[in-house]
A = this chain, B = another copy of it.
Amino acid sequence: MPVMNMIQAVNDALKLEMRRDDRVVVLGEDIGKFGGVFRATSGLYEEFGADRVIDTPLAEAGIIGSAIGMALYGLRPVPEIQFADFIYPAYDQIVNELAKFRYRSGGQYAAPVVIRTPYGGGIRGGHYHSQSPEAYFVHTPGLKVVIPSNPYDAKGLLLSAIRDEDPILFMEPKRIYRAARGEVPEDDYTVPLGKAHLVRAGTQVTVLAYGAMLHVVGEATEKLVEQGLDPEVIDLRTLLPLDTETVIESVKKTGRAVVVHEAPRTCGFGAELSALIMEKAFLHLEAPVARVTGFDTPFPYTLENEYLPDAARIADAIRRTVEY
């Protein structure tokens, strides 16, 4: 099996699906001839031409607004927002239009658009090239939110997403675009949406994470395991709809949970996980659910490493939770 990094896996999924389904088109800024600022779409323009690989003017609202129209017409548009930090000019189209089309039309119209966007810190991008806005979209009924943490999932989840009937935010942790490498089947396969992945089975505490944080969690748990701890690690993969069953079963087993994300803490997705766990596993909880997150500040430049959850902070929170 070939070894790919995240970018190659995303690129492979797009190629494969564009070959399989001629309704699939990609559009965005610099994604055509240039192949995207992260090269995720490289080679597509050459293979599929300007009709299906569309370099747009600089306007996110235009990209998403027209993607909605394309989807209404029957295409399967996969727009790219160059950085998640720049998605807000399209926010109205996403939360008021894309998310509500099926509902508001009584089920008459659907807009299965998959918005791909690189997100997250770790690339010295300061606060306009590092944001993690997933909670904004999780809080918006009508959208699904998918975040892969490795090349295998990136390809399998993206293929599932493009074949899904609903609008989806497909958020790609750019920090591990090249760093995360792994075996990826060349042929067609899917990883189901709404299913979390058990990364490590354990008994003492459930660690919940997604995206780039999985790798930092891995660093942390490795040390802890050496020290004799036995954490269970779950990669959520889909934030909405959440695989509540897997999460709750695990916490009922371990009685403890630590949630990790890069986004600011207040009203982040960690808050939802924490609240949900309390509602559904209260009597099993032996410690409060701990949140290891970015801080409630804009994303800094120089102090990025201090801002982001690192292995030490995560390990510390896991240990405290176990020892609570």
Residues of A within 8 A of B (CB): 85, 88-89, 91-92, 95-96, 99-100, 103-104, 127-128, 135-136, 138-142, 240, 263-264, 266-272, 274-276, 278-279, 282, 285, 287-291, 295-298
Contacts and interface: CB of A to CB of B under 8 A. Distances in A.
12 contacts: A89-B92, A99-B298, A100-B127, A103-B297, A103-B298, A104-B298, A138-B266, A141-B266, A141-B296, A141-B297, A278-B288, A282-B285
Nearest to A296: B141
Interface of A is mostly: helix
Nearest to A137: B267
> How many copies of the shown chain assemble into the complex?
2
A256 to B, nearest CB: 11
A122 to B, nearest CB: 19
Given A96-B85, A271-B271, A298 B139 contact: no
B141 A298 contact: yes
A297 B279 CA distance: 20
A274 B276 CA distance: 9
Nearest to A288: B282
